[in-house]
Structure 1
Amino acid sequence: MRSFKAFACAAAQACLPPRTGRTSRGVRLLGLAALFAVQCAHAASQDTWDFSIERAPLERVLMEIARVSGQPMSFPSGLAKDLFAGPVRGTMSAQQAAEQALKNSGLQLTTLTDNTLTIVDAPEAPRDIGTLPPAEVRARMGSDFAAFTTGSITHIETPITSVPHAVSTLTRELLTSQNAPTMADALALAGVSSMSLDPSAAPRYATRGFMTGQISVDGQPDKMAAVRPIEAVEDVSVIKGTLADIGGAPTAVGGINANLRAPTAAPQRTVAVEIGSHAERKAVVDLAGPIGSTDLSYRAVALQDTTANSDSGYAGRHKSYGLAALGWHDAATEVTVGLESVTSRQPMPPATFALNGAPVRLAMQSPLGNADDNVQSRASRAYYKVSRNLSDDWSLHSRGTYEALTEQSALWHTALVVNNMAPTSTLNFGDRSNNTSWAISNELTGSFAHGPFQHVLTFGWDEFQERQDMVFAATPFLIPQNPFAPVQLPPATFVPGIQVSQSVRQSVFRVRDQAAIGEHWELSGALYVNNYIAKLPLAQLQGSPWTPSLGVLYKLTPHTAWFADYSRGFRLNTSYFDPCQALLPERSRQLETGLRWADANRALTMQAALYRIDAHHVRLVDVAPAGYDTQIAHQSSEGLEVSMQGAVTKGLDTSLWVALSRVSGTLITGYLPQAPFLSGAVWTTYTMQAGPLKGAGAGIGITGQRGAPCYGDTPFRMPGFVRVDTSLFWHQKSWSVDLFARNLFNIRAYGNAQSGNFIPVQPGRTLTLRVTHNF
């Protein structure tokens, strides 16, 4: 059989008349041009590509096929709206991949005269809607700040308009644009407040007035959140409800889930360098791509971050981080295995105490102990993720992780405030904790139709095991110190003393059903059973509580939905020891209703929610020493939250969160812990879209909250603040330059506190210059 090239050449030659001269040469040139076009079209249709595209909106899947293959693709905006496709995996041509994505969509693939692929309704004949330039094929859709689907609730990618409770997602682009130094700073845009309760303790996160010390990673409990750099995270979702299959049993306010950078089949190579205040030097390398021509892919992230000093006058920080992950997939299976490792040295954070009803203004560059006071951490984590498609509708998922974390502090603690008098001494106080844990989650997910109902089912089993060992200092060493005129103290030392241990095992069984009724109604229900045993130093707790959750959603329009949910929550309050008794588990219930809107052009989302949470046996962390926790018998929280994410207009992107809240509850001492009545955060950027400065722009962020009453030896009021952050940038295809200024006006702002003995002070003005190269 003759090859296609020989056949095309013969056909072109046969079309030429047997003449010579200028006309003959012109015709031959036309014939050669036609031959070239035919060859290119044939080659484009026959070339194969390695596709690994997860389930997502159909428009996004088609654009990813165009991006990977370079195949021009054009279709009317809105034709594929509200349709989902995928996963698309395997080695195939662009046309085959597109046809796979369009399966059961009611649409069909056709080819225009210029070899551009387009989609039309199945009964219709194709019509020429124009050619999409190659540059547009590779352009991102919508806004980089907005997320229109979420996979954090279940393994099935779900449109946010079908989620029956409030959810906020911080995309990778938003995290990069804001350049928040820590996860705690980034979470402010999702309505989460960080609380540093002790200089040697990891920050906790308050959502709707309730705290958690844990952030899940890839749906698994995680201990490294406080030391893992934000550059290793792909995105963060805050699910403000208990209808989420992350981290095991549901809690009063849902959960926080971060997704790590994962292996990708598309090559990606990024190197970023930062310099900044306090002689900061940071280097980040992020590499990903296929391994040869196999179905293997990889991801490698490395970071080195150091500073010479800190805001509080102590020595600087040091952090080293590495991630290596390997992925493999075929048409029905996807496997990821990875390792993480991090070492960290953090200085004493800036802090003060309260006197006469207000925080005391101390000199920032005058350490109250020794300049070398620090907290050192070392952690490692191994994990895997496996997904297997049993059929077009049913899948199996399994995730597992093993983690080891060691933290040790050696620093001087300011003595407690007594009788509204300033402390006159400091204590050489330290501790060391060793945490090991492992977790396995297995899920069966599927969908089926039953009459007018379209069901999405999840059956899950989670197993968590954790052991904690705490070593306290033998005998704290006391030295006089005047906090208003401090002197340099000798280096702090840690001498091991008493050791306590505890272990916790939890087996969580869960089932969820989300049913769509027609085009407007969606119902969801979930049931969790948590069988737990907590062996504490002074007691043993065990039980098998049942926690149900119910949700309803009504789509007013294809892009506007009203939702409401009722849920129960349960959380173990495991503390190393308490002076009197073990802490009882926290039990809660939440009522929530709200509205959510996503525009048809997939550029902007808005959300508003009203909520009320009632909880019993709420854990309240005292300042020092670690482990002496107490409880609030009953606490309630109610409020209104409003958020917006996406592109307001072309080039103008924003992320906004504002809340009105009220928290009530009484301690044994009679004090009433509160939360700021009004708080919010916004980050907005504008990027030039054309001209010689295309890609240049600026960003501005405002974070603020009203003052709130707090408790302590003498009740005091935490003052409110408004902090302004800015950036200037110039982004091009292969490089970008960003200049950031946090706390531009260098205001004195305080962090959230639970005691007048330790009040964090936010850093002053810091400048950072970042240069990034993509290759």
Structure 2
Amino acid sequence: MRGLASAFQPCSPPGLRRTMPAFFSTTTTSARSSAPRRTCLALLIALSATRQAHALADEIPRLFHIERAPLEHVLLEIARVSGQHVSFASGVVKARWAGPIDGTMSAREAARRALQGSGLALASLPDGTLTVVASDTADPPPNVGTLAATEVHGAPGNGFAVFSTDAITRVEMAVSNVPHAVNTLSSGLLASRQPPSLSEAVIQAGVVPVVVDPAAPPQYAIRGFMTDTISVDGLPDRLASMRPIEALDEIAVTKGPNADVAGVTMAGGTINASLKAPGAAPGRSIAVEAGSHAGRKVIADLGGAIGTNGLIYRVVGVQDTSANSDAGHTGHRASYGHAALGWSDASTEVAIGMESLASRQPVQPSTFALNGGLVRLASESPLGNADDNVQGRAERFYYSLSHSLTDDWAVHSRGSYENLRLQSAQWHLVPTADGSTPMPTVGMGYRSDNRVWALSNDLTGTVRQGPLTHSLALGWDEIQDRLDFHYPGDIVMAQQNPYVPTPLPSVDFVPGLSLSQTVRQSVFRLRDRIAIGERWEVSGSIRANDYIAKLPHAKLRGLAWTPAFGVVYKLDARTSWFANYSHGFQINTGYFYNGATMQPERSQQLETGLRWEDRQRKLTAQVALYRIDANHVGVADTSHPGYYTEIMEQSSDGIELSLQGSIARGWETSLWLTAAHVKRKLPGDPSFTAPGLGGAMWTTYTVQGGALAGAGAGLGVTAQRWIPCYDGAPFRVPGFVQVDGSLFWRHKQWRIDLIARNLFNVRAYGNTVSSSFVPILPGRTLTLRLARNF
């Protein structure tokens, strides 16, 4: 709104077109008056160029998939997808609905379809902005320079609030219409907080990283249930824990099992990351960063149109290094590249891309449990060799295709292939029962090769039957996951005093026994969302998973059916109640120590909650109550590394509260709180227990005017209650409260961020399932980033 008003302030008579001839017809002026008139003429020429640029963006065809939703949401989604500014007063569009809008068209045509039957019309402001007016006024209001306080403008932004998602149905829909609890970390929130990894990012959405194996990526606990399965753009992904955050546009966490997500119906929920995609709007940025431990990072993000034939591209590159780590190990190295090419015409949109990643990460500092508590070790010296590390290399290729068959029906297809290789070489401490020294330590390495093929296809459409509107989706997913695991052929034994550690020789990986397993899943999905009038929506889905798991010593095969039901009721234009009942299924491919195979995990969730949006659509809140029950839950057998044990029954119930968006002008906040209770039916309870109380908050304030305009500060708090654990004997991981802070400045194309993580250098411990390896979280770190858009 500020930009629109300023465009009319220099010369803002009500009838701009009637004023223009006066400037050109004046042939004799005084020297005193010629300068202001030349200034107005220059401003009019600039305004005309801006209008032409907006008009060009207005006419570029885009592929829209917007389900039926409040008119305000539909217009904002049109603005987000197209990059075209859309202006409307909240009071004008209030209590009106629109959609669905499906197909490739210009932003103007999409907006006209949204306004059909609403009694409203579409007009253009002089700068090319599309504006919604009453149908009896074809021209924009005369005093466009002083908009009402309830005026809303739809355009790409960097706020924390998220009002639409495609993480669940793969078709963009209003979050207020989703019958599940979902938390989305927007691009604005990720850019503001700048988390160094996915593990730190998802904490803001109520996900707890858990270290199961120091030589493997972490797993993630959602509502007390762990998963190592993450998807990217709706497809299974193994690169998630290694991929830099700068490659992602947003991260969505859907809580509980969900029958609409490809290949995944985990008990606790799913994490879906969205890669930065090609776009027609030009965007180029370079950032450099320096930080603690001699850290250096360079980020390049380039994108835009290639010519005028609908071809677009996106290139992201990241180079990240450091000299050392908290525990005295050699620092990390990571190189990442992502290139994507897209094209679209009136009915089709295609994108292809590839990712390449090479990473070397030091071993995380750790301690161990003794007499029910944790031993406080100095984290500055490694317990093994300074060169202990985990290395990874990965490549990923993908495509996506969408084609509109009619105005109401479309087909969507996406596929990917990825190859991930991990290799570790490190020392593993074996603590003595009484803590006496020296303690035995084992030097060895592992290697794994993981290849995943995934294909997902959907037919989506809309059928109208009087007051009912059906949004249908018929889908088929094909997923094949092959894992080759190479055990060490040689190990080295040594003695270590963890209280006063001494350097040990370096460890090399020596290949030994190799085992392979392949899991194939053919998943068929059917979903129907029914809008009943303007207040009620009911949904039902069913999926059939035909799976075959070829394990080293066994073969599992079956057909699993997982239904889901949901309902949404709109209490008013900004508040909705939702509830769902859904089933989940997961294949357990591990073995018991006696060589027996495990039963598949099955789960069910009952959930209800409320969502609210403010009148200006800048702030959203969500509260959810849930209960999840599951059986045959597989967890790592810490007494026998490489094997698993089983929790016969597990339940989790709790309450979650989240708040995201702008509280006041310049003040953005993201808040998440939870209180949960997890029960496991197993003698001794040898497993991880989710924290009963936890929360995360990140808030920023940006000065809006004056000499300090663009300057601001951020404050973050992460808190977790102590965690009871069991591994042969009970022990407790202490709770903690950590504080992060930032200072930043944004001016035109420039941005500077100074971020301090763990500002008060609090000693905190990560979540684990093993008493012999409890990770120590990083101490205070500082990073300074300078970025320029051009």
Whether these two folds match at TM > 0.5 is yes
Instruction: Indicate how the Cα distance of structure 1 residues 364 and 533 shifts in structure 2: closer, same or farther if over 3 A, else same.
Output: same
Instruction: Indicate how the Cα distance of structure 1 residues 172 and 336 shifts in structure 2: closer, same or farther if over 3 A, else same.
Output: same
Deviation for aligned residue 1:415: 1.2
Partner of 2:410: 395
Partner of 1:76: 89
In 2: Cα distance, 1:111 partner to 1:633 partner: 63
- Supply the AA of the counterpart residue of 1:109: L
When the two chains are superposed, the root-mean-square deviation of aligned CA atoms in Å is 3.3
In 2: Cα distance, 1:407 partner to 1:62 partner: 42
Determine if the alignment matches structure 1 residue 418 to structure 2 residue 433. yes
Q: Secondary structure at the match of 2:277?
A: coil
Partner of 2:510: 495
In 2: Cα distance, 1:16 partner to 1:769 partner: 55
Partner of 1:357: 372
Partner of 2:309: 294
- Supply the AA of the counterpart residue of 1:559: R
In 2: Cα distance, 1:328 partner to 1:291 partner: 10
Instruction: Indicate how the Cα distance of structure 1 residues 473 and 346 shifts in structure 2: closer, same or farther if over 3 A, else same.
Output: same
Q: Which runs of 5+ in 1 are unaligned?
A: 1-7
Partner of 2:465: 450
In 2: Cα distance, 1:407 partner to 1:672 partner: 26
Determine if the alignment matches structure 1 residue 596 to structure 2 residue 611. yes
Mapping of residues 184-203 of structure 1, within 5 Å: 184-203=199-218
Partner of 2:776: 761
Deviations 1:209-263 (A, max 9, x none): 0000021000000011111111101100001133353232422123110010100
Instruction: Indicate how the Cα distance of structure 1 residues 759 and 666 shifts in structure 2: closer, same or farther if over 3 A, else same.
Output: farther
- Supply the AA of the counterpart residue of 1:120: V
* 1:128 aligned to which of 119, 141, 164: 141
Determine if the alignment matches structure 1 residue 646 to structure 2 residue 656. no
Determine if the alignment matches structure 1 residue 380 to structure 2 residue 395. yes
CA contact (8 A) 2:258 2:584 kept: no
How many residue pairs align between the two structures?
A: 754
Deviations 1:141-177 (A, max 9, x none): 7871000011111132111111111000000110111
Determine if the alignment matches structure 1 residue 538 to structure 2 residue 548. no
Of 74-83 and 144-153, more deviation after overlay is shown by 74-83
Determine if the alignment matches structure 1 residue 210 to structure 2 residue 210. no
- Supply the AA of the counterpart residue of 2:377: L
Instruction: Indicate how the Cα distance of structure 1 residues 179 and 338 shifts in structure 2: closer, same or farther if over 3 A, else same.
Output: same
Instruction: Indicate how the Cα distance of structure 1 residues 188 and 618 shifts in structure 2: closer, same or farther if over 3 A, else same.
Output: same
Mapping of residues 262-277 of structure 1, within 5 Å: 262-277=277-292
Mapping of residues 294-333 of structure 1, within 5 Å: 294-333=309-348
Determine if the alignment matches structure 1 residue 508 to structure 2 residue 523. yes
Partner of 2:746: 731
Instruction: Indicate how the Cα distance of structure 1 residues 167 and 558 shifts in structure 2: closer, same or farther if over 3 A, else same.
Output: same
Q: Secondary structure at the match of 2:133?
A: strand
Deviations 1:530-586 (A, max 9, x none): 000001112111100111111111111111111111111100112377543112210
In 1: Cα distance, 2:494 partner to 2:168 partner: 52
CA contact (8 A) 1:328 1:335 kept: yes
In 2: Cα distance, 1:321 partner to 1:249 partner: 27
Partner of 2:540: 525
- Supply the AA of the counterpart residue of 1:79: V
Q: Secondary structure at the match of 1:691?
A: coil
Q: Secondary structure at the match of 2:266?
A: coil
Partner of 1:239: 254
* 2:62 aligned to which of 46, 52, 63: 52
* 1:555 aligned to which of 546, 567, 570: 570
Deviation for aligned residue 1:509: 0.5
Deviation for aligned residue 1:44: 5.2
In 2: Cα distance, 1:760 partner to 1:739 partner: 27
In 1: Cα distance, 2:650 partner to 2:438 partner: 31
In 1: Cα distance, 2:464 partner to 2:142 partner: 36
Instruction: Indicate how the Cα distance of structure 1 residues 686 and 613 shifts in structure 2: closer, same or farther if over 3 A, else same.
Output: same
Partner of 1:5: none
- Supply the AA of the counterpart residue of 2:120: L
Q: Secondary structure at the match of 1:278?
A: coil
CA contact (8 A) 1:664 1:672 kept: no
Instruction: Indicate how the Cα distance of structure 1 residues 392 and 106 shifts in structure 2: closer, same or farther if over 3 A, else same.
Output: farther
Determine if the alignment matches structure 1 residue 685 to structure 2 residue 700. yes
- Supply the AA of the counterpart residue of 1:323: H
Q: With the length of structure 1 as denominator, give the TM-score of the two structures.
A: 0.91
In 1: Cα distance, 2:549 partner to 2:474 partner: 25
Deviating beyond 6 angstroms after TM superposition, the runs of 4 or more aligned structure 1 residues are: 20-23, 33-43, 112-116, 136-139
Of 40-49 and 418-427, more deviation after overlay is shown by 40-49
Q: Which runs of 5+ in 2 are unaligned?
A: 1-16, 67-72
CA contact (8 A) 1:537 1:576 kept: no
Partner of 1:109: 122
Instruction: Indicate how the Cα distance of structure 1 residues 116 and 421 shifts in structure 2: closer, same or farther if over 3 A, else same.
Output: closer
In 2: Cα distance, 1:65 partner to 1:432 partner: 43
Instruction: Indicate how the Cα distance of structure 1 residues 421 and 163 shifts in structure 2: closer, same or farther if over 3 A, else same.
Output: farther
CA contact (8 A) 1:512 1:525 kept: yes
Q: Secondary structure at the match of 2:331?
A: coil
In 2: Cα distance, 1:39 partner to 1:163 partner: 43
- Supply the AA of the counterpart residue of 1:504: V
Instruction: Indicate how the Cα distance of structure 1 residues 365 and 623 shifts in structure 2: closer, same or farther if over 3 A, else same.
Output: farther
CA contact (8 A) 2:98 2:114 kept: no
Deviation for aligned residue 1:198: 1.8
Partner of 1:169: 184
CA contact (8 A) 2:259 2:542 kept: no
Instruction: Indicate how the Cα distance of structure 1 residues 517 and 480 shifts in structure 2: closer, same or farther if over 3 A, else same.
Output: same
CA contact (8 A) 1:88 1:101 kept: no
In 2: Cα distance, 1:22 partner to 1:352 partner: 83
Q: Secondary structure at the match of 1:545?
A: strand
CA contact (8 A) 2:103 2:404 kept: no
- Supply the AA of the counterpart residue of 1:131: V
Identity between Structure 1 and Structure 2 (%): 50
Determine if the alignment matches structure 1 residue 248 to structure 2 residue 263. yes
Deviation for aligned residue 1:278: 0.4
In 2: Cα distance, 1:606 partner to 1:197 partner: 33
Instruction: Indicate how the Cα distance of structure 1 residues 140 and 693 shifts in structure 2: closer, same or farther if over 3 A, else same.
Output: farther
Determine if the alignment matches structure 1 residue 479 to structure 2 residue 489. no
- Supply the AA of the counterpart residue of 1:59: L
Deviation for aligned residue 1:728: 0.3
CA contact (8 A) 1:61 1:86 kept: no
Mapping of residues 658-669 of structure 1, within 5 Å: 658-669=673-684
Partner of 1:282: 297
- Supply the AA of the counterpart residue of 2:573: P
CA contact (8 A) 2:83 2:155 kept: no
Instruction: Indicate how the Cα distance of structure 1 residues 421 and 549 shifts in structure 2: closer, same or farther if over 3 A, else same.
Output: farther
Deviation for aligned residue 1:655: 0.4
Q: With the length of structure 2 as denominator, give the TM-score of the two structures.
A: 0.89
Instruction: Indicate how the Cα distance of structure 1 residues 331 and 421 shifts in structure 2: closer, same or farther if over 3 A, else same.
Output: farther
* 2:349 aligned to which of 316, 330, 334: 334
Instruction: Indicate how the Cα distance of structure 1 residues 116 and 382 shifts in structure 2: closer, same or farther if over 3 A, else same.
Output: closer
In 1: Cα distance, 2:43 partner to 2:509 partner: 77
Instruction: Indicate how the Cα distance of structure 1 residues 104 and 688 shifts in structure 2: closer, same or farther if over 3 A, else same.
Output: same
Deviation for aligned residue 1:642: 0.5
CA contact (8 A) 1:559 1:599 kept: yes
In 2: Cα distance, 1:100 partner to 1:554 partner: 25
Partner of 2:11: none
CA contact (8 A) 1:229 1:321 kept: yes
In 2: Cα distance, 1:348 partner to 1:754 partner: 17
CA contact (8 A) 1:191 1:207 kept: yes
Determine if the alignment matches structure 1 residue 721 to structure 2 residue 731. no
In 1: Cα distance, 2:636 partner to 2:187 partner: 32
Determine if the alignment matches structure 1 residue 748 to structure 2 residue 763. yes
Deviations 1:488-547 (A, max 9, x none): 111011111111111100000010111111121111111010000001112111100111
In 2: Cα distance, 1:604 partner to 1:116 partner: 24
Instruction: Indicate how the Cα distance of structure 1 residues 479 and 67 shifts in structure 2: closer, same or farther if over 3 A, else same.
Output: closer
